[in-house]
Amino acid sequence: MRAAAARYGTAGSLVLTALVAAPAGSASGAPPSPETRGTAVAAQRAEAAGIHWGACAKAEGLPPSVRCGTVSVPLDYAHPDGKKIKLTVSRTKATKKAAGRAVARQGALVFNPGGPGGSGMYFPLVGVLPEWKRIAAAYDLVGYAPRGVGRSAPLTCQDPKQYTKAPTQAPTYPDASYKQERIARAKAYARGCGTRNPGLRHYTSLNNARDLDVLRAAVGERKLTFMGASYGTYFGAVYATLFPSHVRRMVFDSAVNPDPAQIWYGNNLEQSMAFEGRWADFRSWVAKHDKVYHLGSTPDDVLRSYEKVRAELSHKPAGGKVGPGQLQAAFLKAGYYDDYWPTRASALSAYLKGDPKPLIEQAAPEPKGAAEEENGNAVYTAVECNDAPWPTDFRVWDRDNSDLARVAPFETWDNAWMNLPCAYWPAPRQQAVDVRTAKDALPPTLILAAERDAATPYEGARELNRRLRGSVLVTEEGAGTHGIAAGPNKCVNGHLDAYLLEGRLPERHAECAPHREPKPLSGERAAELPKGI
């Protein structure tokens, strides 16, 4: 990658000069923080070293067309000469051809799928899909595993077999005894995170943003072209706040609300409320197709069918592995992606007809994926707990989630239990970053959002739009799929292509009609689909 860096002549000195600037939130002209100086040093070193691309490790499961390498970053940016960790990176080169025509290469497009805890190592594979071919012609597609994820200095907080232990209960309105049990589990998990990971406090969104700048330098880009989905929008926004002069183009797909007051406790409460609305959307769709599924002709009827299955699984888990907790997790995915709707409805219908096999196939834990699942949750917990203050008194959690569960019972308490280790976290908390950019400090950026997205409620996209001056929001109206870039909506994809390929954005904002609802499946057609869908 030294050759790519050479195109910019004095890129190394530009990196150092631009990075050693007043840190976010400080007064203009204030001395740079040790972390700011450390990022400059690490980026300069990464630019000089580049990435040595070669065959990917078997553990990545990637074909020979994808090449892999590593980037070294400081564990602690305040001490760039101290301990280093290596991030795994994947890439396919720009094809430079689209629709039979030659296309000029525009650099590297770096992608993060969110989480925290998601790996983007698979990202270069999307280049063969029709929705991505024009972008893949112009850009090297670069994916990576953020710190803590996969083989990038992985975090673990618990024995994976214990983490995926099944079956489990998931009471909608937990009693005092169950709450005490979950408090004990949360405390044990937090302790495990602390004892197993000596550098735990360094796994933060701020460091993810700094790592991204080091990666930018390592792939030979003076300015970053980046697409982040879900949580990727948040630390992408942190990056834009810290390094606005290093941005070329940025796409924020399904944006997290970056208001510091919402990071992360408030965001999770809002998320639970939004999932109730999306759960209602799913039940309305099932009711509309009652002739196929026979689960009820109204959303309330469908809910009664679901609760009947839930009650039966509480007493007799399907296949010995699918209890209410596994049922909840499986149907939560239907809140994220409507392409899960047909198979989830088919599984529920089959179960009530005496066939539990589809539900077992869709909801039972997969032992082979236990380590990856536990690793993802460990990173999620570490980053969110480290990023901002959380209530440390369970009475606050109990009050807020009990009130919310009265109007939004579907996801509320399960979401609370997932995040409760943050109440007992052993590492120091930081104050949430005040994401914002001044007028003309940042090039125009693109925000994509579905109006009924539950995982990142729509208000978050509007808040990000207000905070990143010059950003443009494109809305898929009436839809709720989480992550809409390069999906089934041609209108959304048109805006994505125009921006990444031409730098062209709507003047203010734009609206797209929703993509088509999924078609119902039943019987043999549903059985033909791969497991896990």
Mean pLDDT of 231-235: 98
Is residue 445 within 8 Å of residue 236, measured between CB atoms? Answer: no
- The candidate with the shortest Cα–Cα distance to 468, out of 487, 490, 441, 497, is 441
Q: Catalytic: which of 90, 119, 205, 230? A: 230
CA atoms in the 13 A half-sphere facing the CB of 447: 31
Asked about 205 being catalytic, the answer comes back as no
Q: DSSP secondary-structure letter at 421?
A: G
Q: What is the pLDDT of residue 527?
A: 45
In angstroms, the CA 491 to CA 471 distance is 18
- The candidate with the shortest Cα–Cα distance to 181, out of 193, 168, 194, is 168
The alpha carbon torsion through 182, 184, 189, 191 (nearest 10 deg) reads 160
The alpha carbon torsion through 114, 160, 211, 225 (nearest 10 deg) reads -30
Q: Which residue has the higher pLDDT, 3 or 366?
A: 366
Q: What is the pLDDT of residue 16?
A: 31
- The candidate with the shortest Cα–Cα distance to 455, out of 203, 253, 189, 293, is 253
Average pLDDT of the chain?
Answer: 93
pLDDT tens by residue, 249-306: 999 999 999 999 999 999 999 999 999 999 999 999 999 999 999 999 999 999 999 9
Q: What is the pLDDT of residue 439?
A: 87
Is residue 213 within 8 Å of residue 246, measured between CB atoms? Answer: yes
Decide if pLDDT at 392 tops 50: yes
The alpha carbon torsion through 325, 359, 166, 369 (nearest 10 deg) reads -110
Q: Catalytic: which of 202, 246, 482, 495? A: 482
Asked about 13 being catalytic, the answer comes back as no
In angstroms, the CA 41 to CA 15 distance is 9
For residue 99, name the pLDDT band (cuts at 50, 70, 90): confident
For residue 505, name the pLDDT band (cuts at 50, 70, 90): very high
Q: What is the pLDDT of residue 522?
A: 66
Q: For residue 369, give Cα distances in angstroms to 108, 361, 364, 366, 375.
A: 31, 14, 11, 6, 10
In angstroms, the CA 85 to CA 42 distance is 12
Q: DSSP secondary-structure letter at 376?
A: H
pLDDT tens by residue, 199-212: 999 999 999 999 99
Mean pLDDT of 72-83: 98
Q: DSSP secondary-structure letter at 506?
A: -
User: Would you mind telling me the total number of residues written for the chain in this entry?
Assistant: 533
In angstroms, the CA 359 to CA 345 distance is 10
Buried b (16+ CB within 10 A) or exposed e, 76-96: ebeebeeeebebbbbbbbbbe
pLDDT tens by residue, 35-58: 999 999 999 999 999 999 999 999
pLDDT tens by residue, 411-459: 999 999 999 999 999 999 999 999 999 989 999 999 999 999 999 999 9
Range list of H helices, 424-477: 458-467
Decide if pLDDT at 529 tops 80: no
In angstroms, the CA 512 to CA 336 distance is 19
Strand partners, 142: 91, 110
Q: Which residue has the higher pLDDT, 494 or 5?
A: 494
Which residues 6+ apart lie within 8 Å of 347 measured at CB?
Answer: 330, 358, 359, 361, 362, 363, 526
Q: Which residue has the higher pLDDT, 11 or 224?
A: 224
Q: For residue 159, give Cα distances in angstroms to 147, 189, 371, 378, 379.
A: 20, 10, 8, 11, 14
Q: For residue 123, give Cα distances in angstroms to 139, 149, 279.
A: 12, 15, 29
Mean pLDDT of 167-173: 97
Largest CA distance in the chain: 71
Is residue 110 within 8 Å of residue 219, measured between CB atoms? Answer: yes
Q: What is the pLDDT of residue 65?
A: 97
Decide if pLDDT at 244 tops 50: yes
**CA 211 from centre of chain:** 17
In angstroms, the CA 209 to CA 204 distance is 9
Pairing of the two strands 247-253 and 446-450: parallel
Q: What is the pLDDT of residue 523?
A: 56
In angstroms, the CA 70 to CA 56 distance is 10
- The candidate with the shortest Cα–Cα distance to 110, out of 120, 98, 119, is 120
Q: What is the pLDDT of residue 26?
A: 40
In angstroms, the CA 55 to CA 63 distance is 9
pLDDT tens by residue, 344-362: 999 999 999 999 999 999 9
Which residues 6+ apart lie within 8 Å of 283 measured at CB?
Answer: 299, 302, 303, 306
Q: Catalytic: which of 90, 205, 453, 471? A: 453
3 state SS for 120-169: CCCHHHHHHCHHHHHHHHHEEEEEECCCCCCCCCCCCCCCHHHHCCCCCC
- The candidate with the shortest Cα–Cα distance to 322, out of 170, 426, 444, is 170
Mean pLDDT of 107-119: 98
- The candidate with the shortest Cα–Cα distance to 142, out of 226, 242, 230, 243, is 226
Pairing of the two strands 139-144 and 84-92: antiparallel
Asked about 482 being catalytic, the answer comes back as yes
For residue 31, name the pLDDT band (cuts at 50, 70, 90): confident
